Homo-oligomer: A and B are copies of this chain.
Amino acid sequence: MTDTALIGVDWGTTNLRVLRMAQDGSVLDTRFDTRGAGALARADFATVLEDVCADWLDEGSPVLVCGMAGARARWIEAPYVPCPADTGLLARLAVRAPGRRDVRIVPGVCLTATGLGDVMRGEETLALGLTGPGLDATVIAPGTHSKWISVQAGSICGFRTFMTGELFAAIRTATILGRDMGTAGHCDAAFDAGVDRALSDPALTAALFSVRVQVLADQLGPDEAADYLSGLLIGAEVMAAARTGAPAMLVGDAGLCARYDRAMMLAGHARPDRVDAEKAVALGLWRLWEAMT
């Protein structure tokens, strides 16, 4: 295993993924663990990392971490860097973690120097991995907090966060709409109807009540109600997100990406490219590492 050049870590809120990377940036091996940054105290991070990959670390390779490990009150804070942010700037502002290992943490990105405006941690690495030097793209990373990231000439020049996934879960868990609701992903027609409603009605809090009304009118069954709600929320996101001429890249869970794909087509967007998140993060970490050395 002496061909390891870098240990890359994508440390999210709920899990982490560790990548053993070769001299050419290719991924030799990966490990996964559920000890996400959201549940760890400062002193836990180094211990977890040793647990997961002491054998790799003992080779002496440097470690580059992106994601929530750099949030305030986590491993060590790597303050947000304001846009525009490119690979060189993020590499320069990476923060060294305490300890005997060479561990560096990629900063998150904020929208504006005053007041932050919007924030992300982890998605900047993914976006830079996807776009590369000199390229333009809109990177769309759907999920709990969906990100639409605008990259121009290889630099993150703006982004916007939508609480789509978290709101979907909260509405299911804690409102009358969730009562007797089934699971989404089965009824394309109901999903499309939700998207159409969102595209034609900017009042989301009123549109949400239409889930209830259609259940009362026996127009939506339990699974259909879930798909319609999903369509409402994803449709609202797609409608509000900025359109640019740059090609769109959709990255993340396949089922979720398929829904965004549908919603974007219904909204008249060009079909986005689908790209692999793990590969993108690996490439982003590698580019940042190259810029550091």
Contacts and interface: CB of A to CB of B under 8 A. Distances in A.
Interface stretch (A19-27, A39-47, A212-220, A281-289): A212-220
A209 B170 contact: no
Nearest to A144: B176
Given A115-B217, A202-B240, A203-B236, A163 B175 contact: yes
Contacts of A213: 110, 115-119, 161
* Copy count, this protein chain: 2
A209 B173 contact: no
A212 B213 CA distance: 31
A82 to B, nearest CB: 12
A240 B208 CA distance: 13
A145 interface: yes
Contact of A163 (B164, B202, B208, B219): B208
Given A115-B213, A173-B173, A203-B239, 6 more contacts: A115-B214, A116-B217, A162-B205, A163-B175, A166-B176, A170-B174
B209 A118 contact: yes
Contacts of A206: 160-163, 237, 240
Contacts of A161: 206, 209, 213
